[in-house]
Structure formats: structure tokens, C-alpha cells
Amino acid sequence: MTLGEKIYLLRKERGFSQEQLASQITVSRQAISKWELNESVPDVDNIVQLCKIFSVSTDYLLTDDYAQNELSTANEADNESVVTENAFTASIKSERKTQYEHHMDSAIHRFRGMAALAVLSAVVGHIIALMLSYIFNMPPMGFGFYMIFLVGGSTLIVAMLVRTLHCTKAEVHFDSEYIGIMQSRVWRVFFGAVSIMLLTFFLAFPLFAVRQVTLHYVPDSVGDVSFTRIIPELNVVEWVHYTQSVPTLILAACVLVLPLYLIVRKKLGFFSVEYGRTLGLIQTLLICSAFILAVIEVNSYGQIMLLICLAVFIFTSVYYSARARDRTNRGILLSMSLRNLLLTYPLLFLVPLAQFVVDFIWDSIRFSYPLQYGVIEEFDFMRVTTGQVGVFHLIYTALILSGYFIIKNRIVRRM
């Protein structure tokens, strides 16, 4: 009988779990598990502590003959010993898997709590920004507080993500598919939390970048010359205008989340069709190229590029659908292409909003005053964030995505 088998039997006889035994010896649970599977050997100090805990001699632990005489197992046949050893190893691995599942459930539960705390931090920061903007008329300070809460929440959730994923890789003996399921659960929580935090950023951006400019005419004179001095007063965007912009800002956040979802979809563990990821990335790249060309207001050569993007979009849809192995995969690829094509309509609606943001960044680089005062006229912002039109495009996008998922689920069920 090996040293690992003796440690396992003595631990079971004393009623200790691996965690309880590890805490008494001041080692990790993984160390105890490796000892029992004969993957490593405890050092001299640990051997002495094990003898004290189990009330056995070092000869019993280290000498095979002594242990065999104690347990009367010297006459077992070789084949029976092999079967016993396999069953023994299987029981240890089964116990380790149960402990791993419990450990992972606890880790994912803690990660959900930290993700909820990170989201709450971003939401609280946004509420503080609204209060400082509309009660005290200090939107730059409000946006600064929001960024502090957002960065703190982002740091927290990223640190917990790294720690939780490390926990999933601690046990290398399990099936890689099972570990992948555990990791996908972690990534889904992370993706949902990041999406909500990104939405709060879009909702907070107008508080920093948009101002309502009120001009005050003050009589003044220099010597005998009288004139009127124009003094601008910068106030936060009106509440009515801000609420009307919310649907468009939500739509912009959703449009940005969709490419992120496509990139990390494999990590999320969702169903993936053959050539689906490749086709999705190519078409997303084409749509983004067309969007950028529309934002920078290209000339006739740019329009030719738009037509080329459309032609390549259609060609890739037909090409990868034709390469699909069966009708099921072909149907999913065609429905995905149709979804991407229909989603270009709300994307074109966001072109003026993107131009507004580009102008704000460009003016900030050239002059620096937009970053200091946010001098963007409210009229320009309202021109691209009409409330009713934004609601229409948001509902349109939700219907397109819902219809795609319904069709895809029906096709998958028939597989």
C-alpha cells in the first residue's frame, strides 16, 4: 500500500475532510489531494505532523511491509490489487470533483456578488452625477465622481474575474469540457455586468459634453465709447432634452455591445454554428467600415467604397452559406446575415451622434475648451437624439434581435 493510500484511509477513518486536514498541517487542500494520489510526497515535517494527527508511527506511514501486516493484505492477487487501486483512485477523484464543484459554486456566487457591487458602484456614480448636475449645476464635478465610481467598479470586477478563472484552472484532472462550462458561467456574469456599466457611461456622457448656453448682455463702456458685453452662461442640458436623448443613448450602447458579444461569444459558451464566427466577424468589419465612411462624410469615392462593402457583405453570406454542411447550418447563417443587414438601419441613425462625438473630441484636441467647459450647443445634441425617433429605432432593434433568437432556437431544436 502506498503512502497516499495510507493517508487517505487514515483521513477517512478519523472523519477528516481534505480542508480540515490541510488546516491542521498548514498546507493547501490541493497538497493533500496530491499526496493521496501519489503525485507528490510530504516532507519530513509534514510526515511528523501526520503521525501526530493520526496517532500512528512513522514506520506505519513509510514502511510498506508494516502496513501490509497490519491490514492483512499480503496474499491478495496482483489482478485484485490493480482493481482495488483503480477503485481507490476513482473514489478519490470522485471526492475531488465533488469538492471542486462545491468550491466553484462558492467562487461563482462570490463573483456574482462582486459583479453586482461593481454595477451598483456605476449606478450610484451616475446618480451622483445627475444630482450634482441638476441640483448644484456642477456637471464636470458630477462626471468626475462618476468616473471614480466607474473605475473602482471596473477594477473590482476585473480583479475578481482573474481570481475566479484561476480557481477554475486549479484542478487539471477534470474533463476540459466540464471546466469550460464553469468558465462560461463566469464569463456570462462578467459580460452582463460590463454591458450595464457601459450603458451607464453612455447615459452620463451628455452631462459632461453638452451644455445649454445662455447669453447675457451687459452694458459697458470704455471712455466715451459705450457697448454691450456678451457674457455666456453655461448650464447643464435641460432635463427634458436629456430624457429625450436616453433611447438613442441606450441604442448606441447596444450597438457597441453587439460586436463585443461576437468577440467573446465562444467564452460565453453559447451555441456556435459552423463558419458563424468567421462570417460574423467579416460582416461586422464591413458594417463598421461603412459606418466610419458615413461618419467622416466621404466623397464620391467613399460612396463607391460603400457599394463595395455591400457587395462583399452579400458575397460572404452566399459563400459561407453554400459551404455549410447541412440545411440547418445554412439556415442559421442566412438568418444571421439577414439580421446583420437589418441592423444597419439603426446604425445609420446613429451616424449624426457619432459625428457629434467626433467633433467634440477633435475640438478638445485642438482647443481644449470643450474638455474644460463642455461648450457644445444643446441644439446640436438634440438634433441627433430625437426622443420619438430614438424609441422607434430601439424597438426596431429589439424586434430584430428577438426574431433572430427565436428563429435560431427553433432551428437548433430540430438538430
Q: What is the pLDDT of residue 375?
A: 45
* Higher per-residue confidence, 153 vs 58: 153
Q: What is the pLDDT of residue 155?
A: 96
Among 7-11, 46-50, 80-84, 291-295, the range scoring the smallest mean pLDDT is: 80-84
Question: Are 409 and 267 within 8 A, CB to CB?
Answer: no
Among 109-123, 146-160, 345-359, the range scoring the smallest mean pLDDT is: 345-359
Confidence of residue 396 (pLDDT cuts 50, 70, 90): very high
Q: Mean pLDDT across the stretch 53-72?
A: 64
Question: Are 362 and 222 within 8 A, CB to CB?
Answer: no
Q: What is the pLDDT of residue 71?
A: 46
Q: At the topology level of CATH, where does 3-75 sit?
A: 434 Repressor (Amino-terminal Domain) (1.10.260)
Tens of pLDDT, residues 285-329: 888 888 888 777 666 566 677 788 888 888 988 888 888 877 888
Among 139-143, 181-185, 217-221, the range scoring the smallest mean pLDDT is: 217-221
Separation between Cα atoms, residue 275 and residue 157, nearest integer Å: 32
Q: What is the pLDDT of residue 87?
A: 58
Count the alpha carbons within 13 Å of 95 in the hemisphere toward its beta carbon. 20
Q: What is the pLDDT of residue 258?
A: 83
Q: What DSSP assignment string belongs to 146-168?
A: HHHHHHHHHHHHHHHHHHHHHHH
3-state helix, strand, coil split of the chain in percent (to 5) is 80, 5, 15
Tens of pLDDT, residues 234-273: 678 888 888 888 888 899 899 889 888 877 887 887 766 7
Tens of pLDDT, residues 144-187: 999 999 999 999 999 999 988 887 765 555 566 677 788 888 99
Q: What is the pLDDT of residue 57?
A: 79
* Cβ partners under 8 Å of residue 334, min gap 6: 317, 321
* Cβ partners under 8 Å of residue 106, min gap 6: none
Q: Mean pLDDT across the stretch 189-208?
A: 92
Q: Is residue 212 scored above 80 in pLDDT?
A: no
Q: What is the pLDDT of residue 196?
A: 95
- Encoded amino acid at 359, one letter: D
Separation between Cα atoms, residue 271 and residue 293, nearest integer Å: 33
Q: What DSSP assignment string belongs to 206-272?
A: HHHH-EEEEEEEEEEEETTEEEEEEEEEEEEPPHHHHHHHHHHHHHHHHHHHHHHHHHHHHHHT---
Confidence of residue 123 (pLDDT cuts 50, 70, 90): very high
Q: Tell whether pTM > 0.75.
A: no
Q: Mean pLDDT across the stretch 52-61?
A: 79
- Encoded amino acid at 136, one letter: F
* Higher per-residue confidence, 94 vs 23: 23
Q: Tell me the percentage of the chain whose pLDDT exceeds 70.
A: 79
Q: How many residues does the chain have?
A: 415
Grid-cell match 510530504, residue found: 42
| Selection from 334, 342, 358 nearest residue 401 by Cα | 342
Question: Are 160 and 115 within 8 A, CB to CB?
Answer: yes
Question: Are 360 and 370 within 8 A, CB to CB?
Answer: yes
Separation between Cα atoms, residue 5 and residue 92, nearest integer Å: 10
Separation between Cα atoms, residue 320 and residue 386, nearest integer Å: 39
- Write down the domain spans for the chain: 3-75, 104-209, 242-415
Grid-cell match 473514489, residue found: 91
Query: Kind and range of the H or E element at 189?
Result: helix 176-209
Question: Are 241 and 166 within 8 A, CB to CB?
Answer: no
- Encoded amino acid at 284, one letter: T
Q: Is residue 111 scored above 90 in pLDDT?
A: yes
Q: Mean pLDDT across the stretch 180-206?
A: 91
Coil, strand, or helix at residue 350? Answer: coil
Q: Is residue 93 scored above 70 in pLDDT?
A: no
